[in-house]
Structure 1
């Protein structure tokens, strides 16, 4: 028999030679087997141990010990079964490794689509209203907003000046049937929203507004907005003037938004009901 066939199933040259030699004999002692198979004496016991692990060789309880080949039909059937189990386990481990690599490379830490927008030094005329409207017009279901404590009254002139535009935008969202949830540190936005709601004369509509708009008070260092659980908005702060924003990063990634929604829900539980 060609020894190369045995090497294809995992046996090395010495193991193949010893096994084929034993197949021709009833049984043999290690020293004689070494000579007959042309395997060095220093290697023969190592080879026999490997063949026994493969269950291709049996040891006869005699003195000195004698070795005999296991019937090929039975031996190779068992060997195949073990190889099959090992291969399946290797494939399972390989699949788990691929999954782990995929999670690492495609994890929430790597947003798929990011857009950065920088503000002008000063907004002219209706630029703030136009900017807010452009961000809010595509909202379909829900917006969750967390406002940083730095936006408490008097700390940011730009924010205080933009409050009317934001409060009207939030109010318009609710009129469209969109859920609005806001965590505010006690900024001008609270009074602006309250004034708008108090100005409503239709009581049923006022109740409708309060069902869709929930506002809670919480001082927090977080500052982000989540749109429809798909888009996350994060401010870009001026590192030389933390009360001023240079622009905004818009992240289009549902898995990334999910992380922020988890944080929002955590903060939401800590908030004190306002509206």
Structure 2
């Protein structure tokens, strides 16, 4: 029974798993023998054996009666893995093509980000916060603005290294696609970190283009927020006891976000 459950966990059905284990234990067998020994209903046995043949777990000897022989498990599961991999790649290719068509076809007038309506959501949890930032960066069409205060350098708070630093790879991917990145850094050495990340871009022309779209200024400010275009702002919510980031607020409010943009530019140009 434990082998059957183990095989089921790889993606075979209960009856397929039972029939395959029966063949491994008893060798070449007829459908009726497999049904009796493996507990597979006769009304389903031929469908089950056809599924095992399609997945590469058995050989079939045509005749009267038909005989089924198991493929060695190491070989069968290797073939099964390759079959699943190729199918997954094919499905992903089709999905990629479909998404490209959708993105090219959807009229901008039905884009929810274009609707003038205030919307605020909250995300909690370290991984969820990183996912929230990643999703927000994905909405950028022109620019991403990040400003951090000196309190971010407080090791007790450690917010800077919980958010900005782990997300640099995602930010650079957005910049590679044409987004401009503007950062106000309180003196954490962000520019040096970014320069190190840029070295991983092998093509020199692309590396230079990415570097040209990134501007980092070292300024001691009192503000902490991220702004995606003029559409979305992200505000960190600190734990009142430890000071570490416990949540983020994603705010879709054009009036509020314009005020943040003005304050960012005041600090940037100050």
Q: TM-score, with normalisation over the residues of structure 1? A: 0.50
Offset of residue 200 of structure 1: 3.2
CA displacement at 1:189 relative to structure 2: 3.8
The CA deviation at 1:128 is 5.6
Aligned residue runs from structure 1 range 112-261, under 5 A: 112-120=117-125, 123=126, 127=128, 129-152=130-153, 154-157=155-158, 159-187=160-188, 189-241=190-242, 243-261=243-261
Q: Alpha-carbon deviations, 1:137-157, whole Å to 9, x = none?
A: 121111111112122273434
Aligned length: 155
Task: Give the conservation status (yes or no) of the 8 Å contact 1:174–1:180.
Answer: yes
Shift of 1:161: 4.4
Distance 2:187 2:139 in 1: 27
Which string of whole-angstrom CA distances, capped at 9 and with x for unpartnered residues, describes residues 213-234 of structure 1? Answer: 1111112110111111122221
After superposition, the Cα gap between the structure-2 partners of 1:176 and 1:159, relative to the gap in structure 1 and judged at 3 Å, is: same
Cα shift at 1:113: 1.7
Compared with structure 1, are the counterparts of its residues 255 and 222 closer, same or farther at alpha carbon in structure 2 (3 Å cutoff)? same
Contact 2:152 / 2:158 at 8 angstroms: preserved in 1?
Answer: no
Provide the residue aligned with 1:33 in structure 2: none
Aligned-partner Cα distance in 2 for 1:180–1:164: 14
Distance in structure 2 (CA, Å) of the matches to 1:164 and 1:220:
19
The question of whether the paired residues in 2 share the 8 Å contact of 1:146 and 1:225 is answered with yes
Q: Which has the larger radius of gyration?
A: 1
Tell me the secondary structure at the aligned position of residue 244 of structure 2: strand
Deviations 1:38-69 (A, max 9, x none): xxxxxxxxxxxxxxxxxxxxxxxxxxxxxxxx
Deviations 1:113-172 (A, max 9, x none): 24231422xx36xx5653332221121111111112122273434542444431111101
Q: Give the distance between the partners of 2:130 and 2:237, measured in 1 at CA.
A: 20
Higher share of residues assigned helix:
2
CA RMSD between the two structures: 2.4
* Aligned 8 A contact 1:235 1:245 in 2: yes
**Relative to 1, partners in 2 of residues 1:156 and 1:237: Cα closer, same or farther, differing over 3 Å?**
closer
SS in 2 for 1:210: helix
* Offset at residue 236 of structure 1 (A): 1.6
In structure 2, distance between residues paired with 1:141 and 1:162? 21
Provide, for residues 208-261 of structure 1, a one-character-per-residue CA deviation record: whole Å limited to 9, x for no partner.
Answer: 1122111111121101111111222212222233x3122122221212111111
* Gap regions ≥5 residues in structure 2: 1-115
TM-score by length of 2: 0.51
| Counterpart secondary structure, 1:166 | helix
